[in-house]
Amino acid sequence: MSINIYDRDDFFEEYNKLERSQKGLDGALEWPLLRDMVGDVKDARILDLGCGMGWFCEWAVKEGSKSVRGVDISNNMLERARARVPQGTFDRADLETFTLKDDDQYDLVYSSVALHYLPDITRLVGQVYAGLVPGGRFVFSVEHPVFTSPRHAGWRWDPDHPSEKIWPVNAYSDESKRVTNWLAEGFEKYHRTMETYLTTLLSAGFRLVALKEWMVTEETVALNPGWRYERDRPLFLLISVEKPA
Ligand SMILES: C[S@@+](CC[C@H](N)C(=O)[O-])C[C@H]1O[C@@H](n2cnc3c(N)ncnc32)[C@H](O)[C@@H]1O
């Protein structure tokens, strides 16, 4: 089974303090862009991979979706999702081995910042393709490959231009585990190139609908000058693909 850091007390305590844990989708920086890619969910049958606390499922129910199902590896997360969205179905599963049943049929499969926890998404993408109706969409966000790439993640001062910071995009071709200290020591995730994300989806049979690279806007920087450097590096990769009708 994959590592389940969200059920580790020290990590979960810190995760609970984040804006996205306190405010839900309104506290998720990439949500406005992702919501535009998701579009209308009225009457849709929805599967949320790595559903976390169920914020997206809650939103989808309010928007009139027909059914919502969330899958996550963390009991902490599922407990909150079940309490938040009594209309939903929530299953504990590891996305590395998660398998859909033959009669599982979805109009939308969604995933928000979860797939970079998996060493390989090829099998899961095949499952998603099989579980979508023709014309159905798979919309997801992950940490951007530029963000996941460095072996030792962190801004550096540019030695030639001391007032400027650099994000070191080294090891880009090394698609493997990265260990950082996000919220707790020994936080693990996986780096994949942009090419791998795209070819995995296209090879499964999907058609690309949209691809966005999330960075903070000038407006955000004007309000929070400390975010200035986030204009220099994309933080999230957002992809929407469709199973051809
Ligand atoms: C950053 S949180 C995002 C949660 C939610 N999608 C959101 O946007 O608020 C990542 C989620 O992925 C889940 N996750 C990580 N690895 C997983 C795996 N192998 N199988 C299932 N869920 C996993 C975590 O438990 C966590 O709930």
CA–CA distance, 172 with 150 (Å, rounded to integer): 7
- Write the residue with the smallest CA distance to atom 27 of ligand 1: 52
The whole-number average pLDDT for the span 152-175 is 92
- Residue 187's SS3 state is strand
Q: What pLDDT is stored for residue 135 in this prediction?
A: 98
- Write the residue with the smallest CA distance to atom 25 of ligand 1: 74
The whole-number average pLDDT for the span 37-49 is 98
For the chain, what percent of residues have pLDDT higher than 70? Answer: 100
**Structure tokens, 208:** 């690309």
Q: Is 16 in the pocket of ligand 1 (CB under 6 A)?
A: no
Task: Look up tokens 């999907």; give the residue.
Answer: 206
Q: What pLDDT is stored for residue 196 in this prediction?
A: 98
Q: Is 141 in the pocket of ligand 1 (CB under 6 A)?
A: no
The whole-number average pLDDT for the span 149-174 is 92
Q: Distance from the CA of 182 to the center of ligand 1, in angstroms?
A: 15
Q: Is 74 in the pocket of ligand 1 (CB under 6 A)?
A: yes
165 or 239, which is more confident = 239
Give me the sign of the Cα torsion angle 198, 203, 205, 207: positive
Q: Which atom of ligand 1 is nearest to the CA of 141?
A: 8
pLDDT tens-digit series, residues 221-234: 898 888 888 889 99
Q: Distance from the CA of 52 to the center of ligand 1, in angstroms?
A: 5
The whole-number average pLDDT for the span 121-131 is 98
Q: What pLDDT is stored for residue 8 in this prediction?
A: 87
- Rg of the chain over CA atoms, in angstroms? 18
On whether the CB atoms of residues 143 and 117 are closer than 8 A, the answer is no
Mean pLDDT of the chain: 94
Q: What pLDDT is stored for residue 207 in this prediction?
A: 98
pLDDT tens-digit series, residues 70-111: 999 999 999 999 999 999 999 999 999 999 998 889 999 999
Q: What pLDDT is stored for residue 193 in this prediction?
A: 98
Q: What pLDDT is stored for residue 1 in this prediction?
A: 64
